[in-house]
Amino acid sequence: MPLSMAKPGETVIIRKITGKDEVRQHLAELGFVVDGAVTVVSELAGNLILQVKDSRVALDRTMANRIMV
């Protein structure tokens, strides 16, 4: 399922990242890597605040849809 469907407070493992090479590279630089753990901190109007490693990152729905968990 896409990351955008995860509920707040849920911790999930990234299985696959789709999209162009530049998009995947950008997400990897933010800490979104395959087999990495991500915790959904909050969700507002489809936009997510995520805990990745030791930092919090905000993603919009279209980016979150490219991350499969």
In this predicted model, what pLDDT tens digit does every residue of 18-66 receive, in sequence order? 999 999 999 999 999 999 999 999 999 889 999 999 999 999 999 999 9
Look at residue 8 and tell me whether its pLDDT is greater than 90.
yes
- Asked whether the beta carbons of 24 and 50 are under 8 A apart, the reply is no
Cα separation, 12 vs 25, whole angstroms: 20
Q: How many domains does the chain have?
A: 1
pTM of structure: 0.89
For residue 25, give both structure tokens. Answer: 């590279």
User: What's the pLDDT score for residue 17?
Assistant: 95
User: The domain that contains 53 carries what CATH number?
Assistant: 2.30.30.90
Instruction: Print the domain residue range for 42.
Output: 3-68
